[in-house]
Chain A
Amino acid sequence: GAVVSQHPSRVICKSGTSVKIECRSLDFQATTMFWYRQFPKQSLMLMATSNEGSKATYEQGVEKDKFLINHASLTLSTLTVTSAHPEDSSFYICSASHRLINTDTQYFGPGTRLTVL
């Protein structure tokens, strides 16, 4: 149980285009989903916390207009990187918490590697 998927696993795009990344909890309902980015050989940096049906809470320094988060259901959250630039190239990872049990434990997706040319 507690499986989280992400799609796509890898994406290459041109500068100026928008990219959407999906995060799904496959076998449980997630009260909360989280989006992180990770640069090579560095730790995870929390970008935003997303609760189903409400606006995401962004961490300081994260542009909400650039990184659009939609959490439409208890099993799906999407991150859209708008007008992507090379400096947005990174590894993006989502996680989800169980709705009913172990709300403090996050289960992570496999990540999406974004390369902006």
Chain B
Amino acid sequence: AQKVTQAQTEISVVEKEDVTLDCVYETRDTTYYLFWYKQPPSGELVFLIRRNSFDEQNEISGRYSWNFQKSTSSFNFTITASQVVDSAVYFCALSSSGYSTLTFGKGTMLLVSP
């Protein structure tokens, strides 16, 4: 069975602080995909990143960066110099290759104050 754990239920930071959202996953599959989605107060889920299990290179996109470590089954997400607009619930998710059902974590609510 697959499982995604986001241990941080809620994080509060002040603008310009860096913040890391943790994600730990469990799967027996050798090929799988990891995702991060952002859900702002409006409710729509916004796709942020997809990473396959064979690609452990870290990725940076603007203020966002992701650290994938298979050894610890973690796929952490860092926002550098956070902004108020980053306030949202962030979900980490996992799927098996060729079978696109997603297993979601419970989400981490990030509140960035001015």
Whether the pair B43, A46 counts as a contact (CB closer than 8 A) is no
A-B interface pairs (CB < 8 A), number? 52
Whether the pair A43, B91 counts as a contact (CB closer than 8 A) is yes
| Size band of the interface chain A makes with B | 20 to 34
Interface: A32 (CB within 8 A) = yes
Whether the pair A105, B43 counts as a contact (CB closer than 8 A) is no
- A residues within 8 A CB of B97? 104
* Nearest chain A residue, comparing its CB with the CB of B31: A104
- A residues within 8 A CB of B43? 91, 93, 110-111, 113
Q: 7 closest A-B pairs (Cβ-Cβ)? A: A108-B45, A110-B44, A111-B43, A43-B106, A43-B104, A104-B33, A104-B100
Which residues of A line the B interface, CB within 8 A?
A: 2, 32, 34, 41-44, 46, 49, 91, 93, 95, 97, 102-111, 113
